[in-house]
Amino acid sequence: MLALLAVLSFAPDFDFLLVAGFDLPMREFHRTWSHSLLSAAVVGLLWARLRPVRFASISGPLVFLVLASHGAIDLLCTADAADHGVMWLWPLDTTRYGWPVLVPIYRRLAESPFTAGGALLFTLLEAVLAGPFWAGGRACRHLYERLTA
């Protein structure tokens, strides 16, 4: 179950496959629809409706939160929002959002996350940063279960 959620947490970056596979301009496709809250909501709703029985413990809202957390971390790792920020409100708003809060950390790892080596190191950084999100989610779930028991 955790492996599936870990892969799912990086799913928004699979838009790189479209960019590379179809030779599309990265600026127009990366961090757009795949990083939006609408996309996370649609996938969460589809998961809730179609999920396999063996993954019944993974709820639609959890899938939404996992996907949305990827966009949230990317928002904090954006050196230039106008150039490669996250379109979190796509398609209602195509403004690219981002704040360079974590840029000094990833710049110590690699000059750019848009190279093969930089992307790998940046992915590892995102995995480490996701830890507090997961811990907070688990703590909230535990508290909820105690309050409703």
pLDDT tens per residue across span 99-147: 988 888 877 877 776 677 777 777 777 777 777 767 777 787 788 889 9
Which of 71, 119, 122 lies closest to 98 in space, CA to CA?
A: 71
Confidence at residue 92, expressed as pLDDT on a 0 to 100 scale: 95
Distance CA 39, CA 37 (A): 5
Q: 98 pLDDT exceeds 90?
A: yes
Confidence class for position 18, pLDDT limits 50, 70, 90: confident
**Two structure tokens written together for 33:** 């629809």
pLDDT at residue 27, rounded to an integer: 73
Instruction: Place 97 in a pLDDT band, splitting at 50, 70 and 90.
Output: very high
pTM score? 0.77
Please provide the average confidence, as pLDDT, over all residues in the chain: 84
Which candidate, 46, 40, 88, places its Cα nearest to that of 64? 40
| Residue whose structure tokens are 């930089």 | 118
- DSSP one-letter code for 111: S
Handedness of CA 102, 104, 108, 113 (dihedral sign): positive
How many domains does one find in the chain?
A: 1
CA–CA dist 116, 112 (Å, integer)? 9
Range of the domain at 125: 2-148
118: left (phi over 0), alpha (psi -120 to 50) or beta: alpha
47-94 pLDDT, tens digit per residue, is: 999 988 888 888 899 899 989 988 988 888 888 888 889 999 999 999
Query: Tokens 């690219």 — which residue?
Result: 96
